[in-house]
C-alpha cells in the first residue's frame, strides 16, 4: 500500500538564514514578493522575518561569531504577480547575496 503524502504530523515552523548581508538578503527575498517585518535581535542587531502563507517563518539574522553563513538550498513557489522584477511562469534558479541556491517556481 502506498505511503500517504503527509505521513507525519510535524510541519516546518521556521527557516533561519544567518548572513553577514542581512539587508541585501532581505531586499532579495522582498523582490520575490516576501514581506518582512523588522525587529531588534536579543543581542542588538536587527533581524527580519516573513510569515509564509502556509505557516512557516523565514527569518534573516545577522551572523554573529557563533553562527556562520552556511549552505542552504531553498525552494519557493511564488505568485506570478508578486515578484519584482517580474519573473515568467515556470522554474527559475536564482542565487541570493550569500550565494545560496534558490529554486523558484512561479505559478
Residues forming beta bridges with residue 105, ordered by sequence position: 77, 91
| C-alpha cell at position 83 | 515578484
How far is the C-alpha of 104 from the C-alpha of 107, rounded, in Å? 10
Write the pLDDT tens digit of every residue in 54-77.
Answer: 778 899 988 766 556 565 767 788
Nearest to 15 by CA among 65, 68, 67, 51: 51
Q: Is the pLDDT of residue 1 over 60?
A: no
Percentage of the chain surpassing pLDDT 90? 21
Write the pLDDT tens digit of every residue in 75-97.
Answer: 788 887 778 888 899 989 998 88
Q: How many CB atoms lie within 10 A of CB 100?
A: 18
pTM of the model: 0.70
How far is the C-alpha of 63 from the C-alpha of 20, rounded, in Å? 5
Amino acid at each position: 500500500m502506498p505511503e500517504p503524502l503527509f505521513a507525519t504530523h510535524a510541519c516546518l515552523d521556521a527557516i533561519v538564514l544567518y548572513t553577514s548581508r542581512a539587508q541585501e538578503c532581505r531586499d532579495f527575498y522582498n523582490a520575490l514578493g516576501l514581506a518582512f517585518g523588522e525587529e531588534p535581535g536579543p543581542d542588538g542587531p536587527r533581524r527580519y522575518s516573513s510569515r509564509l502563507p502556509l505557516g512557516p517563518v523565514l527569518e534573516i539574522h545577522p551572523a554573529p561569531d557563533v553562527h556562520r553563513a552556511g549552505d542552504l538550498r531553498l525552494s519557493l513557489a511564488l505568485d506570478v504577480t508578486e515578484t519584482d522584477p517580474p519573473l515568467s511562469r515556470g522554474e527559475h534558479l536564482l542565487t541570493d547575496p550569500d550565494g545560496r541556491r534558490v529554486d523558484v517556481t512561479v505559478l
